[in-house]
Structure 1
Amino acid sequence: MPQRKRGRPTAQERAQRRDEILDAAVRLFVSEGFHSVSLDDVAARARVTKRTIYAYFGSKTEIFLAAVERLRQRTLGLAGSEEDALADLAARIVLALHSDEAIGLHRLMIIEAYTFTDLAQRFYQDGPESYIQALNERLPQPDLDRARALFTLLLGEPHRQRLLALRPPPSPAGARAHALEALRQLGLDGGVASS
């Protein structure tokens, strides 16, 4: 890692430092468990001071939720607008939620849910619930039950196998094929152009 310059960081440097802290924290949480990792551990892994972590996040819980939010932003933020095709959004959700990072966060949340019930609730709101809402907004006729069914199919058995480390993450083409099959099963494939 290059030596950091002294003085007030630029916005780009702050964003990069924030990502570095999140990357370090996610790796630690996944390998050691949320409860076992201290802010000192995160600071040491990210090569920042504990004070820097407090300036960006404030607590371990906020770091975890920021990682969930970052994943959501990377997935839904690319969507651009509500005109974004449902198939494109569905494929991005498959690719993101079957990724190593998302699988690690999901496994961690399953382990910690009984101990950290508030964290589990916020994980669900900031994660699955937001993806379901984004899908619902792009359905030809919004229907929350149908959006939930689509989200369930976008995870499905392949996601369970990912959680159990029985299969690798999908390629972009594999994620798109998975998404198109989910749309077909719900009769939402009319007018979907294949890429």
Structure 2
Amino acid sequence: MPTAKTPTTKTLREGSARKRAAILSAARELFLADGFERSSVDAVAARAEVSKRTVYDYFGDKQTLLRAVVDAVGQSLITTIRHTLDDTLTGLTEDADLEDALVTFSMRIATDMLGSAEYATLQRLVRVESGHLPHQGYNSMADTPDEALAERFAALAAAGLLDVPDPRLAADQFIALTFGVALDRLGSANAAEDTRVRPLVVEGVRTFLRAYRTMQG
């Protein structure tokens, strides 16, 4: 397996947002279609309709460009998660609404995120091009989704709906009980394509609530 090189440390240009987006889009398409090794900076520049020098000025080298592509996809997925949290788990005040809200959140994530082209792209790039990323299993999303969910659980605890002494642990356990079970058992958590996902999610939410619902629930 190839060993990842140390990314460039030269000072990079911020440049225009339009050119940066065009380069990232072109690189993503080429890395997916042809692979990292066979995708040249010349080809990226041509597809993005910029000069080769512009690609180097903005990203330094091809390895840094790959990492930027992976990071951009990860940030897009994080945005989806935060929007879904805002749509489904904000402003809850009644215990009776909690189970439905958690199931709705989980099903939205399973379709809007885990069933999305962005998620498939991230998984493929990380799996296939791991030798060119900073370390094995490089994950541009890191702990952000778990932390965002933990923040929401802390808010639900403040509202008296959950008893979560450790919100981050509760978030990790919620993910394991819902998406994690579906991924382990089915190899996918794409609820849009597999009707077996929803029953697993519903039971996971109920198991979570048996552990974390406040006594008055």
TM-score, normalised to structure 1, is 0.62
- The 1:77–1:104 alpha-carbon spacing in structure 2 relative to 1, beyond 3 Å, is closer
Corresponding residue for 2:32?
30
Residue 29 of structure 1: CA displacement?
Answer: 1.0
Structure 1 residue runs of 5 or longer lacking an equivalent are 1-10, 191-195
Aligned-residue offset at 1:103:
0.7
- The answer for the alignment partner of 2:117 in structure 1 is 100
In structure 2, the residue matched to 1:187 is: 209
Instruction: Summarize the Cα distance change of 1:65–1:160 in structure 2 as closer, same or farther, 3 Å threshold.
Output: farther
- 1:150 corresponds, among 174, 184, 191, to 174
**Equivalent residue, structure 2, for 1:40:** 42
Aligned with 2:128 (options 105, 111, 130):
111
CA shift for structure 1 position 48: 1.2
Alpha carbons of structure 1 residues 117 and 54: separation in structure 2 relative to 1, 3 Å: closer
CA 1:51/1:83 → structure 2, altered by over 3 Å: closer, same or farther? same
Q: Which runs of 5+ in 2 are unaligned?
A: 1-13, 91-101, 155-163
* Counterpart contact for 1:76–1:89, Cα < 8 Å: no
Task: Supply the AA of the counterpart residue of 2:151.
Answer: E
| Alpha-carbon contact 2:153-2:171 (below 8 Å) kept | yes
Displacement of 1:28 in angstroms is 1.0
Seen in structure 2, the aligned counterparts of structure 1 residues 93 and 25 have a Cα distance that, compared at 3 Å, is farther
1:110-136 C-alpha deviation (Å, 9 max, x unpaired): 1232x2362445x32x22422222222
Q: CA deviation at 1:104?
A: 2.2
Which AA in structure 1 matches 2:208?
A: L
2:26 is equivalent to residue 17 of structure 1: no
Residues 138-174 of structure 1 deviation map (CA, whole Å, 9 limit, x = unaligned): 2233433432343443363398448xxxx7x949xx9
In 2, Cα distance between equivalents of 1:49 and 1:68: 22
Moved more, 87-96 or 143-152: 87-96
Could you say what the CA RMSD is over the residues aligned between the two structures, in angstroms? 4.1
Give the secondary structure class of the aligned counterpart of 1:139: helix
Residue 108 of structure 1 and its aligned partner are, at CA, apart by 2.4
Q: Partners in 1 of 2:107 and 2:18 — Cα distance?
A: 27
Looking at structure 1, the residues matched to 170 and 128 of structure 2 have their Cα atoms a distance apart, in angstroms, of 29
Identify which of 39, 58, 61 aligns with 2:60.
58
Change (3 A) 1:179 1:31: farther
Shift of 1:107: 1.5
1:109 CA displacement: 1.4
> Is contact 2:66-2:133 (8 Å) kept?
no
Task: Give me the identity figure in percent.
Answer: 27
Contact 2:24 2:68 in 1 (8 A): yes
> Among residues 136, 141, 145, which one is paired with 1:131 in the alignment?
145
Give the whole-Å Cα distance in 1 for the aligned partners of 2:174 and 2:25. Answer: 30
Question: Which residue does the alignment assign to 1:3?
Answer: none
Letter in 2 for 1:137: E
